[in-house]
Amino acid sequence: MNWLDEVKWDDDGLVPAIAQDVRSGRVLMVAWMNRESLQLTADTGIAHYWSRSRQRLWKKGEESGHLQSVKELRLDCDGDVVTMQVEQAGGIACHTGRESCFYRRYENGGWVVVDEVLKDPDAIYHQH
């Protein structure tokens, strides 16, 4: 059996993928992978995802330079979630210029921004 056949893809052919910092264990982001992006990730050691908004393959860091070098890939017990231990280039995973996409914490009935912007997104993503 092909290792990709052991993944339980959803009705759209996708599986959620969680990227964690290999050193701290912090969750940096959650995105979606299809069969091709998971294969590319395994083959290249660089995280590739499926962009649902753009409907295309997306190599993390292709525009920002903030590549994710994958050190370990895991599949959960149900076969329906992938986790990756990554080295995050530039220390920035979020398009907002923060380390993690999970920069808001629930406090006193609302979401509070608790992580600083490390780099202005306008300096990361150059307008074409």
Give the contacts of 13 (CB within 8 A, at least 6 positions apart): 34, 35
Residue 94 marked in a binding site: yes
Answer yes or no: is 21 a known binding residue: no
Question: What is the Rg, in whole angstroms, of the alpha carbon atoms belonging to the chain?
Answer: 15
Q: Is 12 annotated as a binding residue?
A: no
Q: Is 101 annotated as a binding residue?
A: yes
Two tokens at 48?
């590739």
Write out the two tokens for 19: 């990227």
Report whether 43 belongs to an annotated binding site.
no
- Start-to-end Cα distance in the chain: 44
Whether residue 77 is annotated as binding a ligand: the answer is yes
115 vs 128: CA distance, rounded Å: 28
Q: Residue positions in the annotated binding site for Zn(2+)? A: 77, 94, 101
Binding annotation for Mg(2+): 76, 78, 80
- Binding-site residue positions: 76-78, 80, 94, 101
